[in-house]
A and B are shown apart, each in its own frame.
Chain A
Amino acid sequence: MIKDNGLWLSGNEAIALGAYEAGVKVASGYPGTPSTEIMENLSKYEGVYTEWAPNEKVGLEVAIGASFAGARALATMKHVGLNVAADPLFTASYTGVSGGLVVITADDPEMHSSQNEQDNRNYAFAAKLPMFEPSEPGEAKEMLKLAFGLSEDLDTPVMLRVTTRVSHVKGVVAKSEQRKDTGTCEIIKNPGKLVMLPAIARARRQIVEERMVKCKILAEESDFNKIEEGDTTKGFIAAGVSYLYVKEAFPDAAILKLGMCWPLPEKKIRAFAAMVDELYVVEELDPFLETHIKAMGIDCHGKDVIPNQGELNTAIVRKAIDPGSIPELFPSMEMINRPPNMCAGCPHRGIFFNLSRMKVFVSGDIGCYTLGFLPPLSAMDSCVCMGASVSIAHGIAKAIGDEGHNKVVSVIGDSTFIHSGITGLINTVYNESASTLIILDNRITAMTGQQHNAASGYSIKGEAANALDLEALCRAVGVKNVYKVNPHDIVETRKVLKEAVELTEPSVVISEGPCVLLPEMKERKPVSYFTNQENCVGCMSCIRLGCPAISWTVFEEGEAEKRGYKKRQKGISKIDEILCNDCGQCASLCKFNAITRGEEK
C-alpha cells in the first residue's frame, strides 16, 4: 500500500533519494552490479554533483576530498570495487571527516554478476569503521541518512552495505524533506589531522579506538539494533536481508535485528542470548556476526547449519533450522540451457571469432566480452579482476620467455582499460614483453547498462565531456605499434591481429565498434542481412559466430535433394531479419554469396 508520501522504489533508487534528502553535495562512483543505479538515479537530482570516476579508488578519494572541504559526500561501488578503493578507505578511517562521508558497498552473494562473493562486512572490522546493513529499500534510505549523521557526530567515514536483494528489490519507501542546513564548503586547513605521516598516524590511531568505543555505546542505545520479543525457545540474530527470511520462516520467534553490523552492541547481544533457549545467528556468506559473538564467549548456532555459500532464502533458513518442515517439491526438469550471449551485431564477436582461430592464450577481463568464453567462440582462457588481463598476459610472456612472444593476447574493454588496464600496459612497455593488447572500444561501459566513461565523450548527465584518445594514450606510454581495426570486417581484422601478435615488441590493437545497445545505435534503422538460401551450401561458417540472429535448420532425410541442394548437405542457415543488427560479420565470412545486405527497411 502506498500512502500519500509513498513511493515504490528499488533499493538503489531509495538510496539515491536518501542521499538527496541527506543533502549530499558530491558523489562519485564506478559502475558495478548491483550498485550502478545508485549513481544513475542520484545524477537526476538537482543540486547534487555526481560523476563516474575511472575506478573506485579515484571515486572514494574524490568523496574524501569533498568531505575535507565540508560537504556531505558519497562513494558507491560493488563489493570487488572496494578492494580497489581499500587503500584510501583504511587511511580515511584515521583522518576522519569534515562533512559526512558514506561509502556504499553493494555485495553480490550468489555471484549473479560477479567473479567472487566476498563478504565486505569484513572491511568494516578491518578498517575500524561503523557499518549499517539495511534489510529493504525503505530502510536503506533511512539508514543512509543516519549514516551521514553518525559520520559527522563521530568524525568518521561510515559504510553502508547492501546486497543484490536490497539493491534490486522494489518496495514501499516513504519520501521526506530534503535537509536544508548543509553549511558552506571552504578550504579547511588541518594538517595535524589530515597529513598521515607516521607521527600523526600514531596519534590518530588512538582516536580511532576511542571513536569505536563511542560508537559501541551508540550501538547499544540506538533502536536500529532492536530486540523483537517473541517465542524464546529459538531466538535469532540477523541483519540485512537475512532478517526478512528469518521473519518469514519463524514469524513468532524472538529476534535481535542488527541494523548495524559493526561495531556490535555486546550488552544487547548478551541480554538477548540470556533470554532465549537456543541462539541462532542467520547470515549470508561469512560467519561474521557468529565469529564475533562466539568471541564474546556466547554459545550459538550459525554456519553449523546455515550455508556459507550463495544467497539464503526463507526455505533455506527454515530447512536449516527445522529440517522436517519442507514440503515435497516438484522435481526440476532438465530444460535446454539458455546462457547469456553477446547481442546480435555485437562488435566483440568479430574479435573473439578471430581469436578462436589463433593459437594464443587469451587473457581476459571483466565486461560483456567475458562472454567470449562461451561456445561456440570459446576464446577466453583466464579472467580474474578488472585490469588484470594486461598484467597477467605480461606475466605469462615473461614465464615462457622469448619463444612466447607470439602466444599471448590480452583483451579488455575501453572502460576497464581506463579503470586499471593502463597501469599494466605501462608495465608491459617498461619491462618489455611482446604480448598484444586488444582494446575492445565500444564507446561505453556496457555490461552494467550503458554508463559513460572518460573515453565516451559524455558525462554522467550526458553532457559533452573530454573523450580520452586511447591511441594517443597507448603511444604516450611507449607502445610503438598501435593498430585500429573494424571488428566487423573479420578477414581484415585477422590480418592485423596476426601481424601484431608476431611482433617481438609490445603492440596494441584498438577494435573500434560501438555497442549496439547505445541509444544512437538503437535509433538508427539497421539494414538487415538476409540469406540467399539457394546459394547456401551448409558450410556453417556463419553459424560458428554464435550470433543470436542466425539459426540452423537440419534437413530431414532426402530433403536436401528434394529442395535442389547437394545430396549430402546437412542443413541450411537462416538470418532472422528482425533480430539482425546490420554488422555484416556473417557476410564477411560467407564464401558462397549466400548472405546479402538488404535494402533499407
Chain B
Amino acid sequence: MEESGNILFSGVGGQGILLASEITAYSLLAAGYDAKKSEVHGMAQRGGSVTAQLRFGKRVYSPLIEPGRADIQMAFEMMEAVRYLPYLHPGSKVIVNTQKILPPSVANGQAQYPENVLDHLTEKGITVVPVDAFDIAREVGEVKTANVVMVGALSPFLPVDVSLYEEIIRTRVPERFRDVNLQAFAAGRKISE
C-alpha cells in the first residue's frame, strides 16, 4: 500500500481515537499524500461504538472506506476489532489494543463478553497485531498515551518516515505531554518493527 490506503479506527468513545487518527493523518499529509477523514458526532458519540475512517493517496475522492477495502484497522478495544469485519479483506492488518471495555449488557450481567474474540479474525487469515497499549503506556509513565502507543504500532506499516511522525507529535501535542508521547510512540513502534 505505497500509493494509497484505507485505515479504519474503531473503539469506544473517550479512548483518544480522535488524536490518534489526527496524528496519523497529519503525518501522511506531511509525507505528501492527500488525505480525508470521516467521523460522526452528536448522539453517536455518547459512550457507544466509535469509528473514524482515514483514507490517503494521490487524490482521495470518497471520504468513506468501502466494505472489504480497509487495509488496516486500528482497533482500540477487542470486540470493536471484530465488529467491523465486513470492512476487512484477507490481506488486512488489525492492530488491536488488547483491552476489554464491557458493554452495558455485560456490565449489568445480562450478557457475557465473548471469549477468544480475536480468533474470528485470525481464522480468516487476517494478520492481528496485539498491543497491550495500556501496559506500555503505564510503563512509559502516562496511561493516557495508550492511543499514541497505538499510532506507534501502526507507523511501520505506512509510507511515512519516522521523523515525520515525531515532528507531528511535537507540534500537535501540548508541550508538557510532548516527551511522554514521543516515548509512547517509540515503544509502540517497537512492537511492529
Contact = CB atoms under 8 A, between A and B. Distances in A.
Contacts of A313: 62, 64, 66
A335 B83 contact: yes
Given A172-B34, A331-B86, A548 B47 contact: yes
Interface string A315-346: 10000000000010111110111111111000
Contacts of A333: 82-83, 85, 120
Interface residues of A, number: 56
Contact of A8 (B29, B79, B83, B86): B29
B173 interface: no
B63 interface: yes
Contacts of A329: 67-68, 86
A315 B41 contact: no
Contact of B40 (A37, A113, A370, A553): A113
B47 A165 contact: no
A335 B48 contact: no
B46 A448 contact: no
Interface stretch (B103-111, B155-163, B180-188): B103-111
Main SS of the interface on chain B?
Answer: mixed
Contacts of B48: 338-341
Given A341-B48, A449-B41, A552 B107 contact: yes
Given A165-B63, A332-B86, A333-B82, A113 B104 contact: no
Interface residues of B, number: 52
Contacts, number: 160
Contacts of A267: none
Interface stretch (A239-247, A278-286, A300-308, A506-514): A239-247
B148 interface: no
Given A1-B29, A330-B86, A34 B41 contact: yes
Contact of B36 (A171, A548, A553): A171
A543 B108 contact: yes
A550 B102 CA distance: 11
Contact of A543 (B25, B32, B109): B109
A268 interface: no
A108 B137 CA distance: 38
Contacts of B82: 333, 335
Max chain B C-beta neighbours (<10 A), residue from A8, A340, A548: A340
B38 interface: yes
Given A136-B36, A244-B61, A338 B49 contact: yes
A532 B90 CA distance: 49
A276 to B, nearest CB: 20
A338 B66 contact: no
B7 to A, nearest CB: 13
Contacts of A241: 62-63
Nearest to B29: A2
A337 to B, nearest CB: 7
A169 interface: yes
Nearest to B101: A338
Contact of A136 (B26, B63, B68): B63
A342 B46 contact: yes
A493 interface: no
B33 interface: yes
A571 B111 CA distance: 14
A447 B106 CA distance: 25
B72 interface: no
A248 interface: yes
A342 B34 CA distance: 37
Nearest to B107: A551
B143 to A, nearest CB: 10
B86 A34 contact: no
Contact of B44 (A112, A136, A248, A330): A112
Max chain B C-beta neighbours (<10 A), residue from A113, A336, A338, A341: A338
A558 interface: no
B40 A1 contact: no
16 contacts: A112-B40, A112-B44, A168-B39, A247-B61, A315-B68, A329-B67, A332-B86, A335-B82, A336-B111, A336-B114, A338-B80, A340-B48, A341-B47, A342-B46, A342-B47, A447-B42
Interface of A: 1-2, 8, 33-34, 36-37, 112-113, 136, 164-165, 168-172, 241, 244-245, 247-248, 313-315, 327, 329-333, 335-343, 368, 370-371, 376, 447-449, 543, 546, 548, 550-554, 571
Given A165-B64, A314-B62, A368-B46, 7 more contacts: A113-B41, A113-B44, A248-B62, A314-B64, A341-B47, A546-B108, A551-B108
